[in-house]
């Protein structure tokens, strides 16, 4: 329908005064097979819709019958809710030369570059309270004074994710989410999000939960999926035969060149 483009064309027919049988219904028609070759191509355009093709498509639209090229769906069939799946944050902390060097690359701590690093070494721990106390003492011994924001940034930089560590909680005792483990799932509108979550997520991530404040509703029409027709691959014997034939042809060409 459009010249000099290889992309698919979708024609939308939208009606705000539908007949009763069409209300709440979406009809999809696959018209990719309705065309004929042009006698003279126009650029990359080699096919066009003829009068018969157009009449066939109009008839499919009017009949509203189900077939391989015409299918009807309820509006909600295309709807989904995107849920945000959170996993708890688990960290350990340590003060080592390697982690200290990494911490100094953070912008809030760039002013510490070139200053004498703390001599103390704090071994890996999952106790944030005890680590913070030891870190403050190490900073004091090194004559390093940090603002509250810098200390927070340093604690973050000296941490590493640890699947064996206890869950980090906030002031109210609720688990803190790990941004790196955050994921989303699309749940059909016809299915309860908690039923889906229990079946598809919890068996693989028992500590996960849904942040329902981030749930959003969306719609998608996966046109190709509804009209996909499986085409079995060629038998391996045919592929092997073609490869052998091509190898023989190449070998003959090489012999002619060498001769």
Q: What is the pTM of this model?
A: 0.70
Model pLDDT for residues 117-126, shown as the tens digit of each residue: 888 899 999 9
158: enclosing H helix or E strand: none
Please say whether the beta carbons of 151 and 143 come within 8 A.
Answer: no
pLDDT for res 46: 80
For residue 1, what pLDDT is reported?
64
Q: How do residues 61-90 score in pLDDT, each as one tens digit?
A: 999 999 999 999 999 999 999 999 999 999
What is the pLDDT confidence band of residue 111, given thresholds at 50, 70 and 90? confident
At residue 197, the 3 state secondary structure works out as: helix
CA distance 179 to 88: 9
Question: pLDDT > 70: what percent of the chain?
Answer: 98
Q: How many CB atoms lie within 10 A of CB 89?
A: 19
Mean predicted confidence (pLDDT) in 231-254: 92
Q: What is the mean pLDDT of residues 214-236?
A: 92
How does strand 79-86 pair with strand 91-95? Answer: unpaired
Nearest to 166 by CA among 176, 181, 158: 176
Q: What share of the chain has pLDDT > 90, as a percent? A: 68
Average pLDDT, integer, range 128-157: 92
- Three-state DSSP class for 258? helix
Average pLDDT value for residue range 5-22: 86
- Return mean pLDDT, the chain: 91
pLDDT band per the 50, 70, 90 thresholds, residue 36: confident
Residue with tokens 């070998």: 251
Residues 171-191 pLDDT 10s: 899 999 999 999 999 999 999
How would DSSP label each residue in 204-254? T-TT-EE-GGG-EEEE---HHHHH----PPPPHHHHHHHHHHHHHHHHHHH
Region 10-27 average pLDDT:
91
Is the pLDDT assigned to residue 115 strictly greater than 90? no
Give the whole-angstrom CA distance, residue 63 versus residue 61: 6
Catalogue the E-assigned strands of the chain: 25-29, 36-42, 45-48, 70-74, 79-86, 91-95, 122-125, 159-161, 183-188, 209-210, 216-219
pLDDT: which is higher, 35 or 80: 80
pLDDT, mean of residues 214-219: 96
Separation of CA 48 from chain center: 36
3-state secondary structure of 132: helix
* Cα 250 from chain centre: 44
């Amino acid at each position: 329908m459009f010249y000099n483009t290889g992309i698919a064309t979708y024609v939308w027919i939208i009606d705000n005064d539908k007949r009763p049988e069409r209300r709440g219904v979406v009809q999809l028609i696959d018209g990719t097979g309705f065309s004929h070759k042009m006698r003279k191509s126009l650029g990359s355009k080699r096919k066009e819709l003829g009068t018969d093709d157009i009449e066939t498509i109009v008839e499919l639209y009017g009949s509203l019958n189900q077939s391989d090229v015409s299918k009807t769906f309820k509006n909600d069939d295309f709807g989904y809710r995107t849920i945000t799946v959170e996993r708890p944050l688990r960290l350990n902390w340590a003060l080592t030369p390697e982690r200290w060097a990494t911490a100094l690359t953070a912008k809030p701590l760039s002013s510490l570059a070139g200053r004498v690093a703390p001599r103390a070494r704090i071994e890996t721990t999952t106790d944030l309270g005890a680590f913070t106390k030891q870190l403050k003492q190490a900073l004091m011994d090194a004559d390093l004074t940090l603002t509250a924001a810098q200390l927070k940034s340093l604690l973050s930089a000296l941490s590493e994710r640890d699947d064996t560590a206890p869950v980090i909680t906030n002031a109210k005792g609720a688990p803190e989410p790990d941004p790196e483990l955050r994921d989303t799932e699309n749940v059909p509108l016809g299915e309860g999000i908690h039923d889906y979550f229990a079946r598809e997520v919890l068996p693989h991530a028992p500590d996960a939960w849904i942040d329902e404040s981030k749930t959003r509703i969306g719609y998608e029409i996966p046109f190709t999926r509804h009209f996909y027709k499986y085409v079995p691959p060629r038998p391996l014997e045919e592929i092997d035969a073609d490869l052998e034939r091509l190898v023989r042809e190449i070998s003959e060409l090489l012999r002619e060149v060498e001769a």
